[in-house]
Amino acid sequence: MTPPTMQVYRVGGAVRDRLLGEPVQDCDWVVVGATPAQMEALGYKPVGRDFPVFLHPVTGEEYALARTERKSGRGYKGFLVHASPEVTLEEDLRRRDLTINAMAEAEDGTLVDPYNGQADLMAGLLRHVSPAFVEDPLRVLRVARFAARFGFRVAGETMELMRAMSAGGELADLTPERVWQELERALGESRPRRFLEVLRDCGALAVLFPEIDRLFGVPQRTDYHPEVDTGVHLLMVMDQATQLSREASVRFAALTHDLGKGTTPADVLPRHYGHEERSVELLRALCRRYRVPNRFRDLALIVARYHGICHRIDGVKASTVLKLLQGCDAFRRPDRFELFLLACEADFRGRLGLEDRPYPQAAFLRAALRAARDVDAGTLRAMGLDGEDFAEELRKRRIHAIGDARRADTSR
């Protein structure tokens, strides 16, 4: 039998998304007025290690006892948690990050909104619930991610707290895994450029991703980049990548393709000689720092190294086209090569006034790859070729096939 004082509420994102008219993916529940023993007596399975969380015996959804938290030291997990039947729903909601996430819904559908989250939701505003916001540095990234998801603006007082946290060294407590997790999630949102804009506005971009932050204010040649500013170009490329693909690895490659331009010596600006190689080195370091998964890292590296030659593919020899295909491992990884072409197209079109320009380079490179792959290696083996002789003859025939593909290309 359910204890008479026990009350169950749907909380957080499920309430927010229902009010927005969006699909509710997962439901989180808070239980007020119950003890762990009472939950287990009702058939709930305890699973929480840091605080009392239980799985519903039928649905398997998580039910957490109402709790309060307070900072007890440095670090992401430096919190003291207090869960008891005396903790009220309002106290539980108060520990949450944003007002739009601090709403609850009773079993009869009544909205409980002690911090005016619904009004902020309708106004498109991200506002912190309480001064305790500063106790968790991850919230800086979460706010930026919610801005990327919903396109909301950040309340002025919340932005000031985020600036203070960024300037005060709070972000140093974030683990590499948590930073990457928030970045990956943000890349999958509908407006990933907003993630960058919010982080830059509060100073967190310079702290966490200095390679990206230093691109802003760096000039480029106006004949290639009418938008001039490399940082502005980056945001435009992110917009294009968002339109072209939902694949987060493509968007990550777009984000990191030009890192080397931030280290171009001032005396050679606005040209950026050799920025591709500098981009590769900076990208490797960033990926090590945040333990970026291989599929993200490897695609981003070939985009950083080869996007320039991809744009100029019309003016290079067939042998250079083959080197590009080999450098991208296109023969063994044609699916990844498709993602490479999407990231390159996003870069090409991420320029002021050129957003709708076609990118025939991609069509030619697809044709070149098909032609080179159609060269029959078995014929060469039948001729008795092996070792270096085999490799050289295969190279020559692939170059010839690429040349034929170029001559047959009517899309140029």
Element at 71 (helix H, strand E):
strand 67-71
Residue 26 reports pLDDT greater than 90: no
pLDDT recorded at residue 99: 97
Whether residue 265 sits in one domain with residue 342: yes
Q: Name the most confidently modeled range: 60-69, 271-280, 336-345.
A: 336-345
Q: Is 1 a member of any domain?
A: no
Whether residue 83 sits in one domain with residue 46: yes
Whether residue 147 sits in one domain with residue 77: no
Q: What CATH number has the domain bearing residue 172?
A: 1.10.110.30
CA gap 283, 201 in Å, rounded: 23
Whether residue 277 sits in one domain with residue 167: no
pLDDT recorded at residue 3: 59
Whether residue 238 sits in one domain with residue 155: no
pLDDT band for position 279 (50/70/90)? very high
Nearest to 324 by CA among 364, 271, 379: 364
Nearest to 314 by CA among 363, 349, 279, 274: 363
Q: Measured between alpha carbons, how far apart are the two ends of the chain, in Å?
A: 75
Phi/psi at 384 (nearest 5 deg)?
A: 85, 10
Residue 410 reports pLDDT greater than 80: no
Q: Is 132 a member of any domain?
A: no
Owning domain of residue 158: 137-208
Domain final position from 63, 96, 127: 127
SS (H, E, C) 231-273: HHHHHHHHHHHHHHCCCHHHHHHHHHCCHHHHHCCHHHCCCCC
358-373 as b/e: b if 16+ CB within 10 A: ebebbebbbbbbebbe
Q: Is 404 a member of any domain?
A: yes
Element at 112 (helix H, strand E):
strand 111-112
CA angle 253, 13, 8 (to 5 degrees): 150
Q: Is 101 a member of any domain?
A: yes
Least confident piece of the model among 188-197, 260-269, 281-290: 260-269
Domain final position from 181, 208, 235: 208
Residue 184 corresponds to which amino acid? E
3-state secondary structure of 106: strand
Whether residue 98 sits in one domain with residue 56: yes
Least confident piece of the model among 16-30, 203-217, 323-337: 16-30
Nearest to 171 by CA among 147, 196, 136, 215: 136
Is residue 323 within 8 A of residue 368, CB to CB? The reply is: no
Question: Residue 327: how many CB atoms within 10 A of its CB?
Answer: 12
Give me the mean pLDDT over the 362-381 stretch: 91
Q: Which two tokens stand for residue 315?
A: 């003016």
Query: What is the percentage of the chain residues whose pLDDT exceeds 90?
Result: 76
Mean pLDDT of all residues in the chain? 92
Is residue 195 within 8 A of residue 144, CB to CB? The reply is: yes
Residue 18 reports pLDDT greater than 50: yes
Q: Is 390 a member of any domain?
A: yes
pLDDT band for position 77 (50/70/90)? low
Q: Which residue matches tokens 């969380």?
A: 53
Whether residue 400 sits in one domain with residue 257: yes
Q: Is 28 a member of any domain?
A: yes
Q: What share of the chain is helix, strand, coil (3-state, %, to 5)?
A: 55, 10, 35
Q: Is 396 a member of any domain?
A: yes
pLDDT recorded at residue 257: 97
Whether residue 402 sits in one domain with residue 306: yes
Residue 133 corresponds to which amino acid? F
Q: What CATH number has the domain bearing residue 66?
A: 3.30.460.10
pLDDT recorded at residue 76: 45
Is residue 178 within 8 A of residue 145, CB to CB? The reply is: no
Q: Is 19 a member of any domain?
A: yes
Whether residue 389 sits in one domain with residue 266: yes
Question: Exposed/middle/buried for 353, CB within 10 Å: 0-12, 13-18, 19+?
Answer: exposed
Domain final position from 167, 192, 208: 208
pLDDT recorded at residue 384: 74
Nearest to 24 by CA among 36, 7, 12, 39: 12
Whether residue 217 sits in one domain with residue 269: yes
- The side-by-side arrangement of strands in the sheet containing 53-55 is 45-46, 53-55, 62-65, 28-32, 7-11, 104-106, 111-112
Q: Tell me the whole-structure pTM to 2 decimals.
A: 0.91
Whether residue 170 sits in one domain with residue 122: no
H-assigned helices in 189-333:
192-202, 204-208, 210-213, 230-244, 248-256, 275-290, 294-311, 318-327
pLDDT digits over 180-199, tens only? 999 999 999 999 999 999 99
Q: Which two tokens stand for residue 99?
A: 């007002």
Whether residue 381 sits in one domain with residue 239: yes
Q: How many domains does the chain have?
A: 3
